[in-house]
């Protein structure tokens, strides 16, 4: 189902993606929320699920934030207006929420972060703020007014005192009211301010945007795992005219740059950095325990061919083609595949569901079979009952 209205994917990417906001009226006609408000509140009672309550006028001052897990009494004491419940990564726990993300596959699947659900009563808001990543805001129930402001940066002034980051200055440029099925796209660093008009639910689909610091750490890990002691700084072209003995000359810096570029800028190494970093689990502590090898043998003996399978809601997959073949990434770990496993890698990394008739037609080498085995034992794929 297209979710960009009358806009083509090409036009969206050219004119809006990471450039400017876009309101898409009835991006999802007749949309029905996946969870009722009380079911969403029930998720916030669970210790493994990240949740927050935000109140504009709390007992601890303006824009008070409380972190879950909550108990039922926390909701009994709330005022009638001006509060919001945020439940993070609902797609990790609700298969239907994970399926919703399939509609955003016109963008790299390894960039998708999670689906957060915001439930708010009248006037509920988290204040004017900005995000460092792209986000689609799908109105699931009720109405929310969105006000759009200036582009921000790390030096943008933040209010002192509140327990959440609220912009000290908000320079409104536009505003829209979203109804169920409407969707708003926001590029990174654009100030925005959402206010509930009565009870409402908004689904936020966010995209991972690693910082330079995260990429640098991933690059360092890659260098440490692939470099040898023989790779060192050299200066066979050193000239007596480079400067005084204690000076780190421009030529020395150029040699260092060349050395680091030779190590870091190889396309396969860059792909490895992204593959491992972008498939790391959002909540590593919630990963399922590995099954025993005997479980796989028993399970396979019960199936003449693979049944309908599904990716775990916690699973993150990606792959890259290299000079040597294929590398598949799952939860930050790399697996080498044969080139004949290309269709398998494409299937596993581009969908949540793997029907048996589709799996039966996908070429699979022994390495591909071993990948399926590892994913099943790690409970990153499972049988659809």
Please report the pLDDT score of residue 165 as a whole number: 86
Q: Closest Cα partner for 115 from 137, 140, 95, 90?
A: 90
Element (H, E) at 334: strand 333-337
Which burial class, exposed, middle or buried, applies to 74 when counting CB atoms under 10 A from its CB (0-12, 13-18, 19+)? Answer: middle
Q: In this structure, are residues 9 and 119 in contact, taking their beta carbons and an 8 Å threshold? A: no
Please report the pLDDT score of residue 216 as a whole number: 87
Q: pLDDT tens for residues 145-201?
A: 999 999 999 999 998 877 788 999 999 999 999 999 999 999 999 999 999 999 999
Please report the pLDDT score of residue 278 as a whole number: 96
Please report the pLDDT score of residue 220 as a whole number: 85
CA dist list (Å): 115 to 64, 217, 384: 23, 26, 22
Q: Say which residues have a Cβ less than 8 Å from residue 270's Cβ, sequence separation at least 6.
A: 264
Please report the pLDDT score of residue 261 as a whole number: 86
Q: 251: helix, coil or strand? A: helix
Give every residue of the chain whose pLDDT is below 70, as ranges: 1, 58-61
d(CA 100, CA 35): 13
Q: 41: helix, coil or strand? A: helix
Q: Domains plus CATH for the chain? A: 9-207 (2.60.120.650), 216-265 (no CATH), 284-383 (3.40.366.30)
Q: 83: helix, coil or strand? A: strand
User: What are the tokens at 255?
Assistant: 């040699």
Q: In this structure, are residues 118 and 84 in contact, taking their beta carbons and an 8 Å threshold? A: yes
d(CA 171, CA 192): 10
Please report the pLDDT score of residue 86 as a whole number: 98
Q: In this structure, are residues 288 and 378 in contact, taking their beta carbons and an 8 Å threshold? A: yes
Q: Closest Cα partner for 138 from 23, 35, 9?
A: 23
Please report the pLDDT score of residue 362 as a whole number: 94
Please report the pLDDT score of residue 287 as a whole number: 86
- Beta-strand runs (E) in 127-282: 135-151, 174-178, 183-186, 190-207
User: What are the tokens at 215?
Assistant: 């990429």
Strand 183-186 with 190-207, pairing: unpaired
Q: In this structure, are residues 329 and 317 in contact, taking their beta carbons and an 8 Å threshold? A: yes
Hunting for tokens 């199936």 — which residue is that?
303
Question: What's the residue count for the chain?
Answer: 385
């Amino acid at each position: 189902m297209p979710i960009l209205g009358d806009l083509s994917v090409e036009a969206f990417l050219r004119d809006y993606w990471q450039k400017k906001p876009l309101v898409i009226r009835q991006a999802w006609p007749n949309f029905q929320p996946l969870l009722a408000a009380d079911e969403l509140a029930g998720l916030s009672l669970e210790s493994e699920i990240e949740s927050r309550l935000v109140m504009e006028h709390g007992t601890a001052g303006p824009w008070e934030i409380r972190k879950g897990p909550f108990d039922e009494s926390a909701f009994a004491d709330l005022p009638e207006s001006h509060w919001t419940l945020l439940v993070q990564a609902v797609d990790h726990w609700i298969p239907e929420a994970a399926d919703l993300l399939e509609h955003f596959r016109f963008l790299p699947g390894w960039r998708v972060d999670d689906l957060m659900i915001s439930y708010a009563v009248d006037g509920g808001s988290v204040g004017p703020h900005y995000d460092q990543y792209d986000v689609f805001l799908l109105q699931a129930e009720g109405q929310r007014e969105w006000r759009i402001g200036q582009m921000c940066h790390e030096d943008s002034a933040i209010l002192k005192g509140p327990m959440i980051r609220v912009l000290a200055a908000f320079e409104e440029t536009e505003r829209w009211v979203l109804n169920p099925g409407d969707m708003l796209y926001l590029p990174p660093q654009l100030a925005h301010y959402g206010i509930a008009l009565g009870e409402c639910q908004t689904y936020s689909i966010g995209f991972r945007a690693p910082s330079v610091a995260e990429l640098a750490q991933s690059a360092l890990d890659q260098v440490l795992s692939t470099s040898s002691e023989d790779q060192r700084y050299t200066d066979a072209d050193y000239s007596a005219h480079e400067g005084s003995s204690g000076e780190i000359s421009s030529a020395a810096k150029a040699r260092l740059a060349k050395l680091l570029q030779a190590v870091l800028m190889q396309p396969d190494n860059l792909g490895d950095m992204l593959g491992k970093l972008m498939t790391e689990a959002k909540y590593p502590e919630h990963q399922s325990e590995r099954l025993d090898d005997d479980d796989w043998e028993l399970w396979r003996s019960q199936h003449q061919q693979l049944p309908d399978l599904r990716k775990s809601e916690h699973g993150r997959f990606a792959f890259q083609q290299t000079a040597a073949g294929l590398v598949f990434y799952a939860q930050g770990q790399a697996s080498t595949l044969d080139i004949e496993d290309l269709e398998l890698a494409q299937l596993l990394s581009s969908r949540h569901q793997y029907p048996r008739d589709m799996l039966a037609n996908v070429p699979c080498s022994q390495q591909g079979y071993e990948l399926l085995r590892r994913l099943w034992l790690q409970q990153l794929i499972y049988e659809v009952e």
